[in-house]
């Protein structure tokens, strides 16, 4: 069990009446004042985590990996277009050369 998990478990035990603050603080090796600070932070984090969130994906947030991939796809599409144009030119030149040879 990690230290944060231990803290959370002891805070829940205190809040449910299974332990006193003094017992929890002793198990954690901290003062009652430090215990109360941790408890307050934990309860605030719980409230924050339970706030209503907008539905769907967050808007306006950038995803650097997605942007890099989109940029790479665009570069590759441009390269494919250039290769296709070169091939068309090569075929036109070869066709023109055959006409001139006749």
pLDDT tens-digit series, residues 65-97: 888 999 999 999 999 999 999 998 888 888 888
87 vs 59 pLDDT, higher one: 87
Which among 62, 59, 82, 84 is positioned nearest to 71, based on CA atoms?
A: 62
Q: Assess contact for 38 and 11: CB atoms under 8 A.
A: yes
pLDDT of residue 21: 96
87 contact partners, CB below 8 Å, separation of at least 6: none
Euclidean distance between CA atoms 60 and 64, whole angstroms: 12
**Res 102 pLDDT > 70:** no
CA distance 57 to 45: 22
pTM confidence score:
0.53
Higher-confidence residue: 95 or 5?
Answer: 5
Report residue 3 CA to chain centroid gap: 24
pLDDT at 1: 87
- pLDDT, one tens digit per residue, over 8-55 is 999 999 999 999 999 999 999 999 999 999 999 999 999 999 998 888
């Amino acid at each position: 069990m990690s230290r944060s998990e231990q803290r959370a478990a002891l805070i829940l035990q205190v809040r449910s009446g299974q332990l006193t603050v003094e017992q929890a603080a002793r198990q954690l090796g901290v003062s009652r004042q430090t215990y109360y600070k941790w408890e307050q932070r934990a309860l605030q984090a719980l409230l924050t985590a339970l706030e209503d969130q907008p539905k769907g994906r967050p808007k306006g947030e950038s995803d650097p990996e997605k942007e890099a991939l989109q940029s790479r796809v665009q570069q590759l599409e441009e390269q494919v277009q250039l290769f296709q144009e070169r091939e068309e030119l090569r075929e036109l030149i070869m066709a023109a050369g055959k006409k001139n040879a006749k």
